[in-house]
């Protein structure tokens, strides 16, 4: 029986995935790192794998992220030379679209302000703006970003999109490259980040970016925690340049109980819940790529190391 090892610091996730493998891929033996059978594993399904864990497994020939992203694999560099695949869930777009739509409404309809008012028993209505008067920018126009930008445009919002290379989307004003970045940001009421994490995009949510938005704008980070410079966010919130931020991703997860973001005024913290692949989807894609690996076939959703996705 072919063995797959599950590597993560999240014990609950490990238990859930092991049960899912038993149900949806019973032809595979899914084991944890402390099982002696892990030495026989040919593939490792990973979510924040412990440092050095891959290097201790002599027969692993494939590292498989259990998510759409792969930057969490940086917690263990010992398997850096192995091919990496990621999960692509067709329902992932739906979950992320719902999350961003909620975040946009949160600020467009001033729910952030009325929630704050409730704490002080304050009754105050705010002028209602049409969706077309609310400018939303989406950074990253891959399958997720394109779907979200299209959804918001369909709801009547004034939507811009920005990507590394040129894109065309119906109802969306598209910008690309460094030369058009400032024009893309200019006057936005809300900025959504869905970029992959690369050396170029790391720290892109910074004071320079915030200053180009409309005063009192908001941001939504659904990309990666390393995109955001927290000190710059705090400064922008304190000055009023930003009114708020919805953050779903963090450099270290779970977010420590004493992390300042929990109590930072204007910040909404969600526990990396915007969208996640279903366990059966993860198992089937890991199982299929394991079959392809052993059969010498091309792997699905293979990551380009030079791009980071």
Catalytic site residue from 272, 279, 284, 291 = 272
Domain ranges within the chain, ordered by starting residue = 2-89+277-295, 92-269
Are 2-89+277-295 and 92-269 equal in CATH topology?
yes
Q: What is the Cα–Cα distance from 104 to 218, expressed in whole angstroms?
A: 9
Is 224 assigned a catalytic role?
Answer: yes
The pLDDT tens digits for 267-308 are 999 999 998 888 999 999 999 999 999 999 999 999 987 676
- Which burial class, exposed, middle or buried, applies to 175 when counting CB atoms under 10 A from its CB (0-12, 13-18, 19+)? buried
What architecture is the 2-89+277-295 domain classified under in CATH?
3-Layer(aba) Sandwich (3.40)
Distance between CA atoms of 244 and 109, rounded to whole angstroms? 13
**Helices vs strands, H then E, count in the chain:** 8, 12
Q: What is the pLDDT of residue 143?
A: 83
Decide the pairing of beta strands 62-65 and 43-47: parallel
Beta strands in 198-280 (DSSP E): 217-221, 242-247, 267-269
pLDDT at 252: 87
Residue of 86, 92, 224, 227 marked catalytic: 224
| CATH 3.40.50.720 is held by the domain 92-269 | yes
pTM value > 0.85: no
Asked if 66 contacts 46 with a C-beta cutoff of 8 angstroms, the reply is yes
Assess whether 29 carries a catalytic annotation: no
Give me the pLDDT at residue 304, please.
87
Instruction: Check residue 165 and give its pLDDT.
Output: 94
Residue ranges in the chain whose pLDDT is less than 70: 306, 308
DSSP-based three-state secondary structure for 60:
coil
**Confidence at residue 71, expressed as pLDDT on a 0 to 100 scale:** 82
At which residue do the structure tokens 């993860």 appear?
282
């Amino acid at each position: 029986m072919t063995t797959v090892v599950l590597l993560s610091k999240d014990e609950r996730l490990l238990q859930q995935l092991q049960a899912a493998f038993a149900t949806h891929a019973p032809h595979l033996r899914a084991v944890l790192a402390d099982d002696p059978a892990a030495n026989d594993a040919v593939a490792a399904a990973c979510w924040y794998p412990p440092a050095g864990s891959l290097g201790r497994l002599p027969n692993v020939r494939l590292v498989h992220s259990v998510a759409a992203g792969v930057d969490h694999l940086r917690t263990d560099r010992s398997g850096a030379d192995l091919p990496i695949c990621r999960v692509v869930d067709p329902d992932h777009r739906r979950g992320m679209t719902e999350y961003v739509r909620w975040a946009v409404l949160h600020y467009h309809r001033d729910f952030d302000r009325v929630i704050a008012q409730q704490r002080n028993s304050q009754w105050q209505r705010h002028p209602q703006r049409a969706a077309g008067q609310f400018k939303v920018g989406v950074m990253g126009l891959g399958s997720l970003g394109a779907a979200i930008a299209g959804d918001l445009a369909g709801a009547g919002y004034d939507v811009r999109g920005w990507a590394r290379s040129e894109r065309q989307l119906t109802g969306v004003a598209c910008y690309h490259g460094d030369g058009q970045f400032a024009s893309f940001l200019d006057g936005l009421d809300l900025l959504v980040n869905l970029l992959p994490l690369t050396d170029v995009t790391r720290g892109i949510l910074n004071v320079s970016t915030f200053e180009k938005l409309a005063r009192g704008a908001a941001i939504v980070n659904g990309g990666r925690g390393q995109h955001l410079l927290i000190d710059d966010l705090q400064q922008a919130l304190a000055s009023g340049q930003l009114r708020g931020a919805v953050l779903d991703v963090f450099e270290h997860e779970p977010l420590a109980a004493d992390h300042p973001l929990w109590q930072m005024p204007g910040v909404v913290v969600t526990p990396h819940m915007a969208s996640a692949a279903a366990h059966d989807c993860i198992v089937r894609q890991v199982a299929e790529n394991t079959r392809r690996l052993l059969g010498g076939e091309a792997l699905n959703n293979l990551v380009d190391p030079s791009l980071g996705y």
